[in-house]
Amino acid sequence: MEGEKDRHHFGASKSFKLMQHWCLCLFIFTLITTSTSQIDYGDALSKSLLYFEAQRSGRIPYNQRVTWRHHSGLTDGLEQGVDLVGGYYDAGDHVKFGLPMAFTVTMLSWGAIEYWNEIADTGELEHTMEAIKWGTDYFIKAHTSPNVLWAEVGDGDTDHYCWQRPEDMTTSRRAFKIDENNPGSDLAGETAAAMAAASIVFRKTNPHYSHLLLHHAQQLFEFGDKYRGKYDASVGVVKNYYTSVSGYMDELLWAATWLYKATDKEEYLEYIISKAHAFGGADWSISEFSWDVKYAGLQVIASKLLNKAKHKRHGDILEQYRAKAEYYICSCLNKNINGSNLERTPAGLLYVRQWNNMQYVSTASFLLTVYSDFLQDTNQKLTCHGGTVDHKEILTLAKAQVDYILGSNPMNMSYLVGYGPRYPENVHHRGASIVSYKENKGFIGCTQGYDIWYNNQESNPNVLVGALVGGPDWQDNFEDKRSNYMQTEACTYNTAPLVGVFAKFLHIENQKLVHDCNTNLVASFK
């Protein structure tokens, strides 16, 4: 009986220790999640999703959280007899540009697919799906018949002439389309990719909607493939804004890749394989992944196909895709041969070009994170010209880029607006820089906005929370001026890739915490 008593006593002291440790763990957890010196990826994630609400065009719903915005663009498409109400403004103006809008939705969807559980753990899945659906609802409207897709509403020239709130807009809302006689394979391809990717996102929660998206995606891909052409040749008004410099072959491969992921249908895989050389998928090495250039993205997805036994017979071609994906990753890591690496600022930010450089940092962080996961899951390493690297090193680079964005940089500035103690206060954004329509409904005319608000020295009255601005120059310098649009304008496709990446890094932080606590717990039993 003594022994048993002892054991009982022993057990009690153990469970006391256990409780102590759990309390300690909880304490550390609370400390870290509330501490300001630590990077709070959860906060960044929640904020990033608010940005998409600020960019909404159309009828603002009852549950809108960004309350300084109101209805706008309610007659979009009316002139042409088509309902084009909804969708997103691309940046600081009020044109609805189809190509960057579609890329935004593709990247939001890819992030949701890749980091579904991580986003779910933060409770932000619903908001992520809302951000995607705001785009896909619009694409459904814009795709009025199998071979007609509305490409743009409004035009950059007349829009940029004014500085107005979206709620006051007096600029042209003329809509432009692509069709059989005015083709646009890049636009049709990217919209197909967006809808196919989104169909995967909604598969479980809204199967009917998922099916509808897939149907549109398949039609759009067929349209784009059958009637070949660059959309900027058909829709001249995009030329000074979103010209498809890389052409349409990347978007057609990209669309086929997403359709293959969404359907598992052999015909899409055949397309990727048979067009690998003709369309450059297995040939082009490009250290830029953007609304224009999709090669690196589709090469990363193709690399991941290699791991399935059923793709063995296409091993040769898929290996060539993979070599190009690795060129991109190695280029980010500064481990390609001389002259073919991405530049970096002195503080280590990846640097592609001075105008809106952050878009490339954001997409690179995404691809690095996804590729790191792929190597970890398949127990592989990456061999670059400059040496072999493991998944951890790749993830470390992605984290450094994300942390730079969130304030670990020489300016001590978070380039994600509304995050941390210091962020751009003069974002080049019409709505954010003018008093909210909710506060002052007095009409503000086209050039009146320039006089009263644009040239005003005060910071923006509305904080464009979650927007990732263009960011610093090649020397890490940043000038927070409204007129400095190369650095202070934000775009939807800047923030979109970060949603999944923030969720991933938050997950890692939380895991580390649990791991450290469990290690202590185990140690206490010894």
Residue closer to ligand NAG by CB (options 34, 338) is: 338
* Min dist. Cβ of residue 413 to ligand NAG (A): 8
Least Cα distance to 505 among 423, 405, 411 occurs for: 405
Query: What's the start-to-end Cα distance of the chain, in Å?
Result: 25
**Cα distance between residue 487 and residue 469, in whole Å:** 6
Give least dist CB 475 to ligand NAG, A.
13
Residue 380 or 412: which CB sits closer to ligand NAG? Answer: 412
In 80-174, alpha helices (H): 98-114, 116-122, 125-142, 156-161
Residue with tokens 């915005």: 69
What is the binding site for ligand NAG (CB under 6 A)?
Answer: 337-338, 411-412
What number of residues does the chain have? 526
| Contacts of residue 414, Cβ cutoff 8 Å, sequence gap at least 6 | 405, 406, 407, 420, 422, 423
DSSP state letter for 60:
P
CB of residue 338 to ligand NAG, shortest distance in Å: 4
Instruction: Give min distance, CB of 183 to ligand NAG, in A.
Output: 43
Distance CA 185, CA 188 (A): 5
Smallest distance, Å, CB 409 to ligand NAG?
9
Taking the complex as a whole, how short is the minimal distance between the CB of residue 345 and ligand NAG, in angstroms?
14
Distance from C-alpha of 257 to C-alpha of 280, rounded to nearest angstrom: 14
**Half-sphere exposure of 96 toward its Cβ, with a 13 Å CA cutoff?**
31
Active-site pick, 127, 216, 428, 507: 428
Minimum CB distance to ligand NAG, residue 381 (Å): 22
**Nearer to ligand NAG by C-beta: 63 or 338?**
338
In the complex with ligand NAG, the residue whose CB is nearer, 338 or 379, is: 338
Task: Decide the pairing of beta strands 350-351 and 382-384.
Answer: unpaired
Active-site option among 137, 222, 390, 480: 480
Angle, CA of 317, 320 and 321, to the nearest 5°: 90
Q: What does the angle CA 186 – CA 190 – CA 196 come to, to the nearest 5 degrees?
A: 145
**3-class SS of residue 455:** coil
Closer Cβ to ligand NAG, 158 or 334, answer by number: 334
Distances (CA, A) of 316 to 3, 48, 300, 343: 68, 40, 15, 31
Closest CA to 24 of 518, 526, 525, 523: 518
> C-beta of 478: minimal distance to ligand NAG in Å?
9
Q: Three-state SS across 273-299? A: HHCCCCCCCCCCCCCCCCCCCCHHHHH
Catalytic residue chosen out of the listed positions 90, 93, 118, 190: 93
Cα of 137 vs its chain's centroid, Å: 18
DSSP secondary structure of 225-236: HHS---HHHH-G
- Choosing from 251, 429, 489, 507, which is the catalytic residue? 489
- The Cα 255–Cα 297 span in angstroms is 11
Residue closer to ligand NAG, measured from CB, 274 or 383? 383
Residue from 62, 58, 90, 87 nearest 74 by CA: 58
- In the bound state with ligand NAG, the residue whose beta carbon lies nearer, of 30 and 475, is 475
Report which DSSP code applies to 468. B
Known catalytic membership, residue 93: yes
Residue 410 beta carbon to ligand NAG: minimum distance, rounded to whole angstroms: 6
Give yes or no: 480 in active site: yes
DSSP 395: H
Nearer to ligand NAG, 36 or 338 (CB): 338
Q: Which is nearer to ligand NAG, 17 or 422 (CB)?
A: 422
How many angstroms separate the CA atoms of 197 and 255, rounded? Answer: 9
Compute the distance between CA of residue 161 and CA of residue 153 in angstroms, rounded to an integer. 16
Annotated catalytic residues are: 93, 428, 480, 489
